[in-house]
Amino acid sequence: MDQKETIVVIGAGVIGLSTALRIQKHLRHSQSILIVAKDFPNTTSLNYASPWAGAHYRPVPESSAQFLKEESQARRTYDHFKTLVAQDPSAGVQCIEGIEHLESPPPEYLDETSIHNAYSHVDGFQQLSPEECPSPVKWGARYRTFIVNSPLYCAYMLRQCIVKGGQIREYTLVNVMEAFHLAGNVKTVVNCSGMGFGDPKSYIIRDGTWSFCIPRPLGGGTIIGGTKQPHNWDPNPSIETRKQLLSNAAKWFPFTPESEGKFDVICDIVGRRPAREGGMRLEAEKVVGDRFIVHAYGAGGRGYELSWGVAEDVVLLMCKNGLTTYNFLGFFGGVNATTRRSLALLSNPDCFGTHINPHTYYTTRSEMRNIWHIHLGLLGVASSQQTNDCREETEMNDDKRQNVNVNRQSPQLRRSIQSEFGVRD
């Protein structure tokens, strides 16, 4: 009797966990999945970036080929979040109103086509009139978006993967090829390692600054941020940076009456975001015999926004190379009229590499009244060119991020997560 095949997913960040869950919907009966990572949701390494993220969903108007590809991934992630919020509020994702203010908007924000491409899929999008924008804001918008309690969400996804039969192993890989020897019959390794095992496609980029205030659902506090410092490996929070972040936040994000005009600072958060020149590496590489490595790493600061689109694209690459089998219900969660029209296209091998979006929408909760508010330019971003430099987040490698959590997460919740998801070999 043939030994059961194991698909190994390297990495337990938001991309790795989303990808593992999506693959599980398409496994053959003869296949199982193993997640291998140095860090899991119960650890606090600053190199394990996912739990340190704000995190939130924000469209990005751009015209480059890479950003156009990311728009498709972002749209699919938005649809997944809508479904998740409606079906399981305990996942740590919440639908709220998002507000953007830009003091020096780059050209893409002044182009109707770019704005339509980036924002047309989000609910309630409304571009603000000049009268609605506070000085010195030159461009503004509001729309329905999603905020994520990132530690809780990552733990939730890990639990879902285990419940569905996935295995996990805490292990530090030195080389991606090692993963083929972690089980008896490994033909496919999915590389969601973040840094890509020394991928040289990285370069220094000028610092950029977005100021943001992101509440975390289910008692996770509020994240005040943020900074981007390429190649800064210092693990220590900066007191001066904290003061600057809080000072900016006080200007734009109003205090509640009970706060007495003061922030209740719980902790400083420092994490590193692995990114890659030209954006993510997303491709299947045939290595030896019938063995494949499917690469999916280097999302920079957009891991949460792109996660489910990336996960679907990984499955498409696997199916294209005969590494697993399509389960259309696994992609769409059900067959409606629009989905049926898409099935014939997806079943055509010539369509691989082009995503067919079924445009299935779900009802979300309207009673959520928290406000996520983002503002650009508070730390002296004065020109369009500087703003463009700030926008190139996907071309930064391993930048240091510092945020400040200014509300309190339930200690009982943290202890519950830590005890429930202790990881052993």
Average pLDDT, stretch 71-85? 96
Residues 153 and 54: their CA atoms lie apart, in Å, by 12
Question: Which element (helix H / strand E) includes 146?
Answer: strand 139-148
CB 384 within 8 A of CB 107: yes
Domains, the chain, in order of start with CATH, read 5-420 (3.40.50.720)
pLDDT band per the 50, 70, 90 thresholds, residue 51: low
CB 55 within 8 A of CB 150: yes
Contacts of 62 (CB under 8 A, 6+ apart): 68, 70, 108, 114, 118, 391
Residues 89 and 93: their CA atoms lie apart, in Å, by 7
Q: What is the DSSP string of 154-213?
A: HHHHHHHHHHTT-EEEE---SSGGGGGGSSSSEEEEEE--SSTTT---------B-EEEE
Q: Range with the lowest mean pLDDT among 108-122, 206-220, 393-407?
A: 393-407
The pLDDT value recorded for residue 216 is 58
Residue 201 clears pLDDT 50, i.e. is over it: yes
Average pLDDT, stretch 52-76? 84
**Taking each helix axis from N to C terminus, what angle separates 150-163 and 411-420, rounded to the nearest 10 degrees?**
30
Q: pLDDT of 346-361, one tens digit each?
A: 333 333 333 333 322 2
Which residues lie across from 267 on neighbouring strands? Answer: 405
Residues 350 and 354: their CA atoms lie apart, in Å, by 9
Residue 295 clears pLDDT 60, i.e. is over it: yes
Q: Range with the lowest mean pLDDT among 130-134, 152-156, 271-275, 381-385?
A: 381-385
The pLDDT value recorded for residue 68 is 82
The dihedrals phi and psi of 315, each to the nearest 5 degrees, come to: -65, -40
Share of the chain above pLDDT 70, in %: 56
Residue 69 clears pLDDT 80, i.e. is over it: yes
The pLDDT value recorded for residue 3 is 80
Contacts of 94 (CB under 8 A, 6+ apart): 85, 146, 147, 148, 217, 218, 368, 370
Residues 192 and 16: their CA atoms lie apart, in Å, by 5
- Provide the 3-class DSSP secondary structure of residue 416: helix
Q: How many CB atoms lie within 10 A of CB 217?
A: 22
Q: Range with the lowest mean pLDDT among 19-28, 58-67, 238-247, 394-403?
A: 394-403
Tokens 């008692």 belong to which residue?
219
pLDDT band per the 50, 70, 90 thresholds, residue 239: low
